[in-house]
Structure 1
């Protein structure tokens, strides 16, 4: 399931990037707007993917600490 989720979200980000490239308003700043949108999507995907993969296989596994009550 882990790799499938990464690829599905990557496909969604790719579609959003293509839509951003196609529907950017014409003007003198069109290249800047396109670049900003695509880089924003790429950075958000990378942040999400790294966090997701770190949770899939943690380096430090949680340890259960049992507390003893003295009555």
Structure 2
């Protein structure tokens, strides 16, 4: 589903941005409201897509610890 999901969500964000641009009520703050709505949608999309891609294709692969893992069945007595 990798890259196709990002394209689908991008299309949804474009549709929502277009709707917010077209259906913003008229008034003295119309430009401010449009800008705020579209910038919010774009910022949320960028944050989500960067996080999604970072988990989909990590830069470093996981490394195993050289320390022996804790065994919960062992009882340590002092």
Q: Identify the residue that residue 51 of structure 1 maps to in structure 2.
A: 51
TM-score with structure 1 length normalisation? 0.86
Deviation for aligned residue 1:61:
1.8
How far is the alpha carbon of 1:33 from its aligned partner?
A: 0.4
Q: Would you tell me which structure has more helix in proportion to its own residues?
A: 1
> Unaligned regions of 5+ residues in structure 1, if any?
none
Greater Cα radius of gyration, structure 1 or 2? 2
TM-score normalised to structure 2 length: 0.79
Q: May I ask how many residue pairs the two structures share in their alignment?
A: 70
- Deviation, 1:67, is 2.9
**Aligned-partner Cα distance in 2 for 1:18–1:59:** 35
Q: RMSD value over aligned CA atoms?
A: 1.7
